[in-house]
Amino acid sequence: MDKLLEILHELRPELDYAHNDSLIDGGHLDSFDIVTLVGELNDAFDIEIGVEDLIPENFNSVAAMWSLIQRLREQV
Amino acid sequence: MPFTSFAFILFLAIVVTVYYVTPKRWQWVILLVASYVFYLFAGARFVPYLVFTTLTTYGAAIRLDRINKQYNAQLQSPAHELPREDRKVLKIAAERRKKRVLTLVLLLNFGLLAFVKYFNFIGDNINALLADLGAGAAAPQLGLLLPLGISFYTFQSMGYIIDVYRGKYEPERNPAKLALFISFFPQMVQGPIGRYDALAPQLAAPHSFDYERAKQGIQLIIWGYFKKLVIADRAAIFVDQVITYYTAYTGLYIPIAIILYAVQIYTDFSGGIDIATGAAQILGIDLAANFRRPYFAQTIAEYWRRWHITLGAWMRDYLYYPLALSKGLARIGKWLRKKVNNRFGVLFPALMAEAVVFLVIGIWHGPAWKYIAYGIYYGLLIVLGMLLQPLSEKATAALHIKTDCFSWRLWRVLRTFALTCFGRYLTRAPNLGDSYQMMKLTVTEFNPGILLDGSLYTLGLDAKNIRLLFAAILVLLVVSILQEKGYHIREKLQEQNLVFQWAIMLAGIFAVLIFGTYGSGYDATKFIYELF
Amino acid sequence: MNICGRKASRLAKAATFLVILGMLLALANAVLTPKWLTGLYHSTYTVTGFYNEPRKHIDVLFLGSSRIECSVSPLSLWHAHGITSYSLATPLQSPLVSYYYLREALRYQDVQIVVIEPKLLYREQAVDEHEDSYRNTLDYMPLSLNKLRAAADIVSYSQSQTLLSYALPLLRYHSRWSNLTAGDLQLNLVQEHSLKGFVPVYTKLDASAPQDDEESDTLSFTPFGEDYMNRIAALCKEHGVTLVLVQPPDIVWNQGMSSQIDAWAASWDLPFVDYNTPENLAALDLVEETDFFHPSHVNIRGAEKLTAHLGDYLAEHYALPDHRGDPAYSKWDTDYAHYMQQKASRFGLSSS
């Protein structure tokens, strides 16, 4: 979880991740950020976030991202 | 049956009436019939293209679903728990079969689109090349006519099939309902490109007549006609005159025409979308937003998130993400991070994907080199903007430029608008050579006198028409600023007194009827009768 | 408010809105439609005056182009024979327009004799090139089935016109907003044509003017002209109306055309009064220098001569009622007196 927050802060230091649950829908993270973020997360957690996972619900909040990471880790 | 014809208004009125007197469970059938009737008006010979896309999309979606079901059944067969390794093999096999189906349907449909849209273009270029090499013309030319809306419905149906492939939602089992999703008449000609999960449930759902919705839909249609007939088609007269004879109108004429063209293309396209959206709204269906005041964007990237939004979103979800997240680009990015520069390596996959997306957007616009140049131009702007961002941030900080104020935002808006206008030199000129000539003639002659001596009134629009155009653009500007500030104009209008509401609606209707650019015009000299 | 009440109030609101919209549309139509009152010819008055005539008062109807319009004076016919007539001839009239105005005349009047200019047999449709010659008569025809059928016929020949633009003329004339004049805002147009459709011209032939370029070659009938003239002849036959062909004198005329028309007239068994034959020209006693204002158009002097001759012809061959002295027709005497006054003052003016 700390690692995730660290990556997010590096990406967009100005955002208040703790209290924001519309990071995508509110337009705080754009497609460019998402691609960068996915690259970082894949490396950091040794997972493979696929295109089909790129839906707003998975990236709107830190909690959502964390549960996505957990889910992908459990898969084959 | 163009939106700006009386036939369309009559058609819409009939469809709306029949739609609301039909029992609710059959309403979607009325929409399907209406959509195909609408399409038949464009030409019966285009219908097979539409049917082909519908059938291949339908079949592929059902096939993808069957593969998924088989795979899940194999996984969950309770008799024997499969070992992890076997599960992986099964998954890879299923993935491979799904990919084959998807590739086939994408190739068929994009292939057909490319064939009808680019066949002659490619043939022309091959012939030119062969001629350069001393050979005679070899590639044949076909007198193909582009089926109405093929670029739009192909993208819409391919978006659907990719979503089904990704397992985002279940496929549509009723082929007629899928046919309606692909052919829904308000959006079939020029978009917005709809998403299945947002549009299809609305199309299938029962709708009761809603007075307020219908009123707002009509208001939006009137506004669309205002934009298209009063502004766009009037500006077009001026723009066409200057651009067609640009060698005779050098200097300031050209940038004035280009700026007016920027206004023309926005009001034409977004006006058409307003008419489509309003028509759908009367039928109880919300279409996706396609424009959000693009000329108020502060950066080029933002401009593309506000202009033709549904195309941008399509490109993002079905082209940009798959490319940017592809293993190949990720590997190169990783290598670049180590060997060249960390930031560049991180950005590399996204930048490459952006570049490809804009190239495709350029090609999508039409079969001509100028559109490819246009795609490359925007791709370069976006990529350079991203790469230079830290530099420009440093520069503004070092120069102590205040960035949190209106003047800075205004500067950025104007800068972005100027950059998009530059792009219009590429697309509005007949070809790239002419764009270059136009740019050159813009800067090599300085003639501000034309602003004052009435020269601008001689380009197809007289003084009264120029003033009217100016006033109409001012109305558009005020409305846009209010919308940008968060006012919902039609909802605000709803809160006013009836007399005011009616006055506004009547003013809109008569502005369109009287000031609209349509019909064969009135030549007073021809009509003052002195014949015997 | 219950749902039913809300529905009713909304229906009432929408209906009121549509009524207001309709009224404003009518106003915009009236303002934007050209008034066709420039130059010699006041086609609008010709048309509105026709509809303003009391019903079943007109016995003779004249149809044709400006040649008829300038040649026949219904009030002179009244004075000489007590025959009530109206001239619905208009500049460059198309036989299509003549046909539908004949239908209108049959609706509003008990016409016994229709006089038409047979040169219409040579008319090209030219619905777009001479759109004005259609619009100037149809614009002020009240909306009716005849008007819509006429418009539908025109649209079938046209490259650019729409049926709707005849029902809602502002669709055709909307761009006139930029050159409206005070006259366009004056909506209570004169409803009466005191000369019953006659256009008196007080000028003489300008000898120095270049000769008219009208063809003197023998033309041939156009399919369009023949079609509508056949329809006119058939309609008259169907209604028991006598159709008389009258070709006013034309300096540019030739014998070939007279024979072609003779043949067509014979096929329908119609009388043809050709004022281009030497005998008829001699009978009229026309003087080129004083009685014409254009090589194929007589001025008021020529018109008086021609009307006198034609009146004698009609009175001699047909049993038309003489309405003089009938109090129901007293207005005709007033109009004639008015005409005489006008003539006197114009001649007085021109001689002084």
Confidence band for B416, pLDDT divided at 50, 70 and 90: very high
Residues C43 and C25 in one domain: no
Distance (Å, whole) CA C57 – CA A65: 92
Residues C4 and C143 in one domain: no
Distance (Å, whole) CA B24 – CA B349: 49
Do A35 and B320 count as a contact with CB atoms less than 8 A apart?
yes
Chain C residues with beta carbon closer than 8 angstroms to that of B208: none
Q: What 3-state class would DSSP assign to C245?
A: strand
Residue C72 pLDDT greater than 80, yes or no? yes
Q: SS3 sequence, chain A?
A: CHHHHHHHHHHCCCCCHHHCCCCCCCCCCCHHHHHHHHHHHHHHHCCCCCHHHCCHHHHCCHHHHHHHHHHHHHCC
Distance (Å, whole) CA B46 – CA B40: 8
Strands, E assignment, chain C = 60-63, 85-87, 113-116, 242-247, 272-274, 292-294, 297-298
Residues C257 and C335 in one domain: yes
CATH of the domain at A37: 1.10.1200.10
Q: Which of B505, B526, B532 comes nearest C91 by C-beta? A: B532
B-C Cβ pairs (cutoff 8 Å, strict) = 79
- Domain range enclosing C159: 36-351
Mind listing the pLDDT tens digit for each residue in B41-98?
Answer: 888 888 999 999 999 999 999 999 999 888 888 877 665 666 777 778 888 888 899 9
Confidence band for B13, pLDDT divided at 50, 70 and 90: very high
ipTM, two decimals: 0.81
pLDDT of residue B136: 56
How far, CA to CA in Å, does C314 sit from each of B24, C67, C246, C321?
71, 19, 11, 11
For a pLDDT cut of 90, what percent of chain A falls above it?
Answer: 0
Q: SS3 sequence, B408-459?
A: HHHHHHHHHHHHHHHHHHHHHCCCHHHHHHHHHHHHHCCCHHHHCCCHHHHC
Confidence band for B276, pLDDT divided at 50, 70 and 90: very high
Smallest CA-to-CA distance from C264 within C133, C124, C116, C125 is with C116
Tokens of B29: 């059938």
Residues C28 and C78 in one domain: no
What is the nearest CA distance from A75 to chain B, expressed in angstroms? Answer: 10
Asked if C85 and C58 count as a contact pair (C-beta separation under 8 A), the reply is: yes
Residue type, A22: S
Confidence band for B529, pLDDT divided at 50, 70 and 90: very low
Do A55 and B316 count as a contact with CB atoms less than 8 A apart?
no
Do A52 and B167 count as a contact with CB atoms less than 8 A apart?
yes
Do A31 and B166 count as a contact with CB atoms less than 8 A apart?
no
What is the nearest CA distance from A32 to chain B, expressed in angstroms? Answer: 6
Mind listing the pLDDT tens digit for each residue in B357-383?
Answer: 998 988 888 888 888 899 899 989 988
Residues C153 and C248 in one domain: yes
Smallest CA-to-CA distance from B223 within B524, B475, B521 is with B475
Domain boundaries, chain B: 6-208, 210-287+430-532, 296-428
Which position has the higher pLDDT, C100 or C287?
Answer: C100
**Which chains sit next to A, with 3 or more Cβ pairs under 8 A?**
B
Q: By CA distance, what is B517's nearest residue in C?
A: C175
Residue C100 pLDDT greater than 60, yes or no? yes
Asked if B479 and B271 count as a contact pair (C-beta separation under 8 A), the reply is: no
pLDDT of residue B141: 60
Residue C37 pLDDT greater than 90, yes or no? no
Asked if B235 and B469 count as a contact pair (C-beta separation under 8 A), the reply is: yes
Q: How many domains, in total, are found in chain C?
A: 2
Q: How many domains, in total, are found in chain A?
A: 1
Residues C16 and C77 in one domain: no
Put residue B170 in one of left, alpha, beta given phi > 0 → left and psi -120 to 50 → alpha. beta
Chain A residues with beta carbon closer than 8 angstroms to that of B312: none
Mind listing the pLDDT tens digit for each residue in B189-239?
Answer: 888 999 999 999 999 999 999 988 999 999 999 999 999 999 999 999 999
- Domain range enclosing A58: 2-74
Do B87 and A76 count as a contact with CB atoms less than 8 A apart?
yes
pLDDT of residue B531: 44
pLDDT of residue C352: 36
Q: By CA distance, what is B502's nearest residue in C?
A: C17
**Which chains sit next to B, with 3 or more Cβ pairs under 8 A?**
A, C
Which position has the higher pLDDT, C48 or C352?
Answer: C48
Residue B350 pLDDT greater than 80, yes or no? yes
Distance (Å, whole) CA C225 – CA C222: 5
Q: Which of C10, C32, C170 comes nearest B211 by C-beta? A: C10
For a pLDDT cut of 70, what percent of chain B falls above it?
Answer: 94
Confidence band for B398, pLDDT divided at 50, 70 and 90: confident
Distance (Å, whole) CA B174 – CA B58: 9
Q: Which of C39, C43, C164 comes nearest B530 by C-beta? A: C39
Chain C residues with beta carbon closer than 8 angstroms to that of B464: 178
Mind listing the pLDDT tens digit for each residue in B106-128?
Answer: 999 999 988 888 877 777 777 77
List CB contacts of B413: < 8 A, sequence separation 6 or more.
Answer: B295, B296, B297, B298
Tell me what the mean pLDDT of segment C35-63 comes to.
88
Do C65 and B464 count as a contact with CB atoms less than 8 A apart?
no
Cα-based torsion angle of the residue sequence C156, C159, C165, C167 in order, rounded to the nearest 10 degrees: -10
Do A35 and B301 count as a contact with CB atoms less than 8 A apart?
no
Chains C and A touch (3+ CB pairs under 8 A): no
* pLDDT tens across the length of chain A (76 residues): 788 888 888 888 888 888 888 888 887 888 888 888 888 888 888 888 888 888 888 888 888 899 999 888 877 5
Q: Which one of B195, B319, B321 would you mutate to disrupt binding with A, by most A Cβ within 10 Å of its Cβ?
A: B321
Please calculate the CA angle B243-B248-B249 and round it to the nearest 5 degrees: 60
Mutual angle of helices C131-138 and C95-108, in 10-degree steps: 10
For a pLDDT cut of 70, what percent of chain C falls above it?
Answer: 93
